[in-house]
Structure 1
Amino acid sequence: MLDINKAKDFVKNNNLTRAITTSKIRKFLSAVNKISNKIRYQNNSDILSEDIVAEIAYMRVQFAYIVGKDNKNEGLKKLHKELDDAIANINKNKNEFINFAKYVEAIVAYHKFYGGRD
């Protein structure tokens, strides 16, 4: 399980503020937020619907594409490794996705706080 308190260290230790532009990281956050909004309106089940699971899988593909376009960017590769592993562990668990979304938000926040490039 991801710990949002470790997002700060992840950003600092992997030099993400120099490696990744704010627009790239926010593009991924936008996809996460879109799914989060759908989950809020889903029934109270702790199990995600098949449609949402499919969107999570597609988000994973989109992120791989972003990394593939800039495959010499080591910071982006480290972020991909961190988040792709987390996405793979979500399965159909609503709480795991919510935790993942908070972690991504924390990474974006610390990226900006530490002077992430535009």
Structure 2
Amino acid sequence: MPDYNQNYSRQSGGYQGSNTRGNDSGFRKEKATFDFNPWNEKIKTWVRNEIDKETISFADEFGGFIAGKAPNNKNEALTTSQIRIAFGELRKIQMNGFNEEKTSFLMLKAKLAYAVKRHDKIGLTEFYNLFSKAYNEVDTKNVEAGTKQFDNLLQIIEAVLAYHKYHGGKE
């Protein structure tokens, strides 16, 4: 099981006025953000080529993080319904065919960006960051390569969703 006290950087919320979020100092508690640095190149490889056992290790660590397992992030967790919205859209694209649903795929990044701003939760922001990294590796001009890469992206998201639930992701 991943150690949630490591591998996360800190983000300070800055001054928020007096007694913000129950903190008398007027400052938010620091929130952990996920450190993608050790994973960036691997995510590209997984999308471009294929997933492997290391993908599953990443999904376990990342799924726990977005479920709120990192220090000070319990109230910043991604909900199961938020992740399922994206996953459902990805499944629809897969069922109808990547080539036929290319526009829906392209728009999904914008829809997630809107959700990030609307909900303002670290878990959703980090999920968007993962999705963006994987999304940028999908070739939308070459149908054969793009379809394979899309399927790999879908498998990564599916593994993250499974581990999010395993680590106690809430509705």
- What is the TM-score of this pair, normalised by structure 2? 0.58
How far apart, CA to CA, are the structure 1 residues paired with 2:124 and 2:89? 17
For 1:53, which of 85, 102, 106 is the aligned residue?
102
How far apart, CA to CA, are the structure 2 residues paired with 1:68 and 1:32? 21
For 1:64, which of 90, 100, 113 is the aligned residue?
113
Moved over 4 A (4+): none
Aligned to 2:96: 38
Aligned to 1:43: none
Whether 1:10 and 2:62 are equivalent positions in the alignment is yes
C-alpha deviation, 1:90, in angstroms: 0.5
Alignment of 1:16-27 (within 5 A): 16-18=66-68, 19-27=77-85
C-alpha deviation, 1:70, in angstroms: 1.5
Normalized per residue, which structure has more helix? Answer: 1
The share of aligned pairs that are identical, in percent, is 25
- What is the TM-score of this pair, normalised by structure 1? 0.81
Partner of 1:56, secondary structure, is: helix
Partner of 1:20, secondary structure, is: coil
Q: Which amino acid aligns with 1:59?
A: L
* Structure 2, gaps ≥5 residues long: 1-44, 69-76, 141-145
Aligned to 1:114: 167
Aligned to 1:87: 135
C-alpha deviation, 1:11, in angstroms: 1.7
How many residues are matched? Answer: 106
Q: Which amino acid aligns with 1:63?
A: L
* Structure 1, gaps ≥5 residues long: 40-47
Backbone CA RMSD of aligned residues: 1.4
Normalized per residue, which structure has more strand? Answer: 2
Aligned to 2:150: 97
How far apart, CA to CA, are the structure 1 residues paired with 2:80 and 2:101? 26
How far apart, CA to CA, are the structure 2 residues paired with 1:99 and 1:90? 9
Q: Which segment drifts farther, 85-94 or 2-11?
A: 2-11
Indicate the structure (1 or 2) with the bigger Cα radius of gyration. Answer: 2
Q: Deviations over 1:25-52 (max 9, x none)?
A: 111110010001112xxxxxxxx52x42
Partner of 2:101, secondary structure, is: helix
Q: Which amino acid aligns with 1:83?
A: F
Which protein, 1 or 2, shows the higher relative CO under an 8 Å CA cutoff with sep ≥ 6? 1
Q: Judge conservation of contact 2:60–2:163 (CA < 8 Å) in 1.
A: yes
